[in-house]
Amino acid sequence: MTSIKDIALKANVSIATVSRALNGSANVTPHTRARILQLAKELDYHPNAMARSLVQKSSRIFGYIVSGIKKGAKHTIVQDSLMGVYDYARSIGYEILMFVVDSDKQNKKSYLDFAREHSLAGVIMQGLRTDDAYYKDIIDSQIPCVLIDLPADCERVGSVSIDNYAAARTVMRHLVEKGHRHIAYLSGMDEAAVSTTRFQGYLSILKEKSIEQRADYILHGNFSEEDAYAALRGFLPGHPELSALFCASDLMALGAIKAARELGVRIPEQLAIVGFDDILLASFADPPLTTVRQDFSRMGYEAAKMLYKIIKGQATPHSKNIPYEFVVRQSG
């Protein structure tokens, strides 16, 4: 492992000069710089990230913190957003350190400790909920951070998502235009900002179109296929008038479809179902799912980009909406 010292020795200069030459500092003769760069290449020099981070008190590493990912996940959301983050990070010479918030809380180590121990330059959070202990920590912390799918207000904290309100309104307008008047909302969880925001969009269209808002039309699926299935199994038999269901996620829509099928409710003839996310399975569902496509990779990319600007103190809006797409298939 050749170090800056070895180069300095061979080049007959001080380590300070080598450091300056390598880092592109202005005050070094073109001739000296060339010699040092040449030597660095010859000796296969690579800077020691630890040493640099130690003195600079900050590494060139982003933390990628993901919450609520279980073993056999039925979507590639995490993978996609991670790749997006990675793409941008690498373009600026940064690396990604993983941190998974276990659901079973065995992982007591807080995100802050994690970030501090590794002198992370900043952190990107995916899948966090408002009731997560980590969410509070952010407020107090000094660590730059960008949240995906969660609103932010603080100085060093940014936020990236699609315009969930508008997207939900698009879905609802579509359903109303198709003639539906009895539309239920299958909520994810109240602690997830995306779920409540989509719900607001749902409500706003009901109001605009003067459709009665019924409290019993708010179902809860906990963002889970099984819970959605159970909810619909319980709800559908008593509500033959229901003609459309707007689900806060595709996974829940799949559970709903399963329940409907078992109860002999035909989709979309008797019940139109719309999902959200456009996960891979959406187009393979039977019938293929009408849904809102989110580009998670793009989200990750934009999140990393924003994080970098925050770190560098560059001016940037702390909240960004990226484009989405309403995909009409056969389910509703």
Partner DNA sequence: TACTGCAATGTAAACGTTTTCATATCCGAT
Partner DNA sequence: ATCGGATATGAAAACGTTTACATTGCAGTA
Which residues of the shown chain bind DNA in the complex (CB under 7 A)? 1, 3-5, 12-17, 19-20, 22-23, 26-29, 31-32, 45-48, 51-52, 54-57
* Shortest distance, position 305 Cβ to DNA, whole Å: 23
* Shortest distance, position 155 Cβ to DNA, whole Å: 23
Q: Which two tokens stand for residue 275?
A: 């999902």
Residue 15 site contact among DNA, its own copies, none (CB < 5 to 8 Å, cut-off depends on kind): DNA
Residues 66-125 that bind its own copies (CB under 8 A): 69, 71-76, 78-80, 82-83, 86, 90, 95-100, 107, 113-114, 116-119
Q: Which two tokens stand for residue 76?
A: 């590639």
Q: Name the residue nearer to DNA (CB basis): 52 or 156.
A: 52
Reduce the DSSP state of residue 321 to 3 states and report it.
strand
Q: Name the residue nearer to DNA (CB basis): 55 or 215.
A: 55
Rounded distance between C-alpha atoms, residue 283 and residue 277, angstroms = 11
Report the relative pairing of strands 157-161 and 319-321 from DSSP bridges: parallel
Q: Name the residue nearer to DNA (CB basis): 4 or 138.
A: 4
Beta-bridge partners for 327: 291
Closest CA to 154 of 164, 162, 146: 146
Closest CA to 274 of 241, 245, 231, 243: 245
Return the exposure string of 1-24: e unless at least 16 CB atoms fall within 10 Å of the residue's CB, then b.
eebbebbbebbebeeebbbbbbee
* Shortest distance, position 60 Cβ to its own copies, whole Å: 10
**Which residues in this chain contact its own copies in the complex, by CB under 8 A?**
1, 46-51, 53-54, 59, 61, 64, 69, 71-76, 78-80, 82-83, 86, 90, 95-100, 107, 113-114, 116-119, 280-281, 284-285, 297
